[in-house]
Structures are given as structure tokens and as C-alpha cells.
Amino acid sequence: MSQNGRECEDVIEAALAMGAAIEVYQPVLVGNAMLLRELAKRLGSGEGAAAVVRSTPGRPGRVGAKSAEEVLEEARFRFRVVLVAACMADGMSRKEIANNMGFSRQVVDRYVRAAPGPK
């Protein structure tokens, strides 16, 4: 285990927050998928695009999706920031983090800049 307990605590907290955000976002995605299948079915049966759009409750779905999507994106970003910080505190180089996490070096640098404390 890392000797950098605070960094690991931050990663645990961020991982749990991201998991919770995924759980909130998942039903929004399922609902949107159902709307899209219905839209495709109606268009496929010959109904006009204007009629389908006018009668589809898109606006409330978009608002819910945007809010859930923003929460998920913020949680994902925070998770990555604290994970990169913990890895660096544990001795990994930026290049090694990029290679192991599948990010570009520039993305790792972005996460490092976003992390609180010394860079």
C-alpha cells in the first residue's frame, strides 16, 4: 500500500463518488435509449420527423441527461486528478502514468495542473 495515505483516501472518496454518479446516470441513459428506439420505430413506420419530434418528450430528458452527465463528468475528472496525484506521490512518472492509463502525456499534465498542492 502507498505510504501516501491522504492521496489514497482521496482516490477512494473519488472512486465512490464516480460510482454513485454512474448509478444516477444509468437510468437516464436507459430512458434515452427507450426514447430513441421509439423514435426509430415511428420514423421507420413512415411517420414524419416533425410529427415525431413534436410529440416526443425530448426537453425534460435532455435536462435530466445534461445534469446527470455533468455530475458524472465532474466525478470522473476528480477521480482521475486524484488518481494521477496518488500515482505520482507513489513514484510513477507522468510518462508511466500516461502509458498505464491509456492517456496522452498532455492529458496527464492537465490532471497534474488541476490537482491541489505542489506540481
Number of domains the chain is built from: 1
| 76 part of a folded domain | yes
Residue 83 domain boundaries = 5-114
Cell of 114: 488541476
Taking only the tens place, the pLDDT of each residue in 90-99 is 999 999 999 9
Using one digit for the tens of pLDDT, what is the confidence trace for 27-47?
888 888 888 899 899 999 999
Residue 119 lies in a domain: no
Residue 46 lies in a domain: yes
Q: Is residue 104 part of a domain?
A: yes
Distance CA 73, CA 22 (A): 10
Residue 11 lies inside a defined structural domain of this protein: yes
The three-class DSSP label of residue 96 is helix
Do the domain assignments include residue 109? yes
Q: What's the predicted TM-score (pTM) here?
A: 0.72
